Amino acid sequence: MSLQGKRIVVGLGGGIAAFKAVQLVRELMRRGAEVRVVMTEAATHFVGPITFAGLTGKPAVTNLWAENYAGEVHVELGEWADAVVIAPATMNLMARATSGQANDVVLATLACARGDVFFAPSMHHRMWAHPATQSNIRTLTDRGAVVLGPVTGALANGEIGEGRMMEPDDIADEVESHLAHADDLSGSRVLITAGPTHEDLDPVRFLGNRSSGRMGYAIASQALRRGAEVTIVSGPVHLPVPSGAEVVRVRSAQEMHAAVMSRFDRCDVLIMAAAVADYRPEQREAQKIKKGGSLKLELVRNPDILADVGAKRSQRPSVLVGFALETENLEQAARDKLERKAADLIVANEASAALGGDTNRATLVEAASTTPLPEMTKRALANQILDRVRTLLTNPSQRPRREAKQEAPN
């Protein structure tokens, strides 16, 4: 009953994923929330209003002249709700919300919402990738809305792509986490590294990895939502910057090392989520390497950012979090890294499950505990990590100090 006492309006746009809203309403209510439903006229073509009346005990509102409300229904519901969740949020509905329209009960309720606003997009992958949609998403998030998904999967026409609405349980998890942890990191300064590093071979080629940066950016987004002051030291990624975050752009491991080392002693929390290259070419060629026979590369070690911070930290950062991306012996490798790098928490995950996707499966390793987590969205995992960070900040006894061993291998 984790949403006990919370009041939530679920708004439906006119998309095939509207049937999933039935399960979303059920799940929110199962967790203790009181739910009301508003629907666009288009949404009623996909699922009937009577279904939601049966679930909630209150009629679903489909127009601004609802007879069951004595006053202005959109004003009443907007004031009543702790959160408004739009699921599915279609391309059209989000475009109209961005432009400030209020010509149906869903948009009018959004315009009057005093609580948190969530959009769960659902559309064809080309509609999601359309520049207008991406521009609208940035505008909505800049205004404080939380965009949940979409995820990559099977779409209504059988194609596979990014545009599938998140599953109802995952949406409920996100809403619950948001409502439960609002501003619990207020006043904390959080430094996050994200993305890959690129180690140049010549002017056009580099050594890199498949990290998308989504995990680090998800942590940054959730830390901002929870009230933290956030700086991201970001390798090369193609992701929108979370509204309110400061971003320091870097390319190589050496550049990331310099950016972190010049900032870590001014932050309360350092989360090293970047996939930093362990090695770089000993020599960068000034001109493009010409095609020929075999090519031998001499590689040298990059600086170990996590270990260097662990060795130099005194009072700051109060909490140091590292990541361990492994292909075998996951827990043991993470525990070794925890000790060698003088970290407080290591987030361990398998390489096959962690790079590039929408979900992740991780194990949280601390000095006195190991916590395996089920597969979940990266946003949900971000909140699991930040829950532990908050506990470590408020309970210093849970983060025993150790000395980093500088010469240990990665």
Q: Is 209 a catalytic residue?
A: yes
Record the tokens describing residue 89, joined without a space: 């949020």
Task: For residues 12 and 41, give the distance between their C-alpha atoms in angstroms, rounded to a whole number.
Answer: 9
Chain mean position to CA 268:
20
Is the distance from CB of 100 to CB of 108 less than 8 angstroms?
no
Please, how many CA atoms are within 13 Å of residue 110, restricted to the half-sphere of its CB? 32
Number of neighbours of residue 137 by Cβ within 10 angstroms: 19
Task: For residues 298 and 313, give the distance between their C-alpha atoms in angstroms, rounded to a whole number.
Answer: 33
Record the tokens describing residue 298, joined without a space: 């001499």
Per-state percent for the chain, helix, strand, coil, to nearest 5: 35, 25, 40
Specify the DSSP class assigned to residue 108. H
CA terminus-to-terminus distance, the chain? 43
The dihedral through the CA atoms of 180, 175, 137, 385 has a sign that is positive
Catalytic residue among 209, 302, 360, 410: 209
> Which amino acid does the sequence have at 252?
S
| Residues 6+ positions from 141 with CB-CB distance below 8 Å | 147, 240, 242, 243
Integer CA distances (angstroms), 226 to 86, 136, 186, in order: 21, 23, 7
Is the distance from CB of 193 to CB of 258 less than 8 angstroms?
no
Write down the residue that tokens 């752009």 correspond to: 249
Is the distance from CB of 122 to CB of 17 less than 8 angstroms?
yes
Helix (H, G, I), strand (E, B) or coil at 359: strand
Written as one string, the DSSP assignment of 32-77 is T-EEEEEE-TTGGGTS-HHHHHHHHSSPPB-STT-TT-SS-HHHHH
Record the tokens describing residue 94, joined without a space: 């989000």
Catalytic site positions: 209
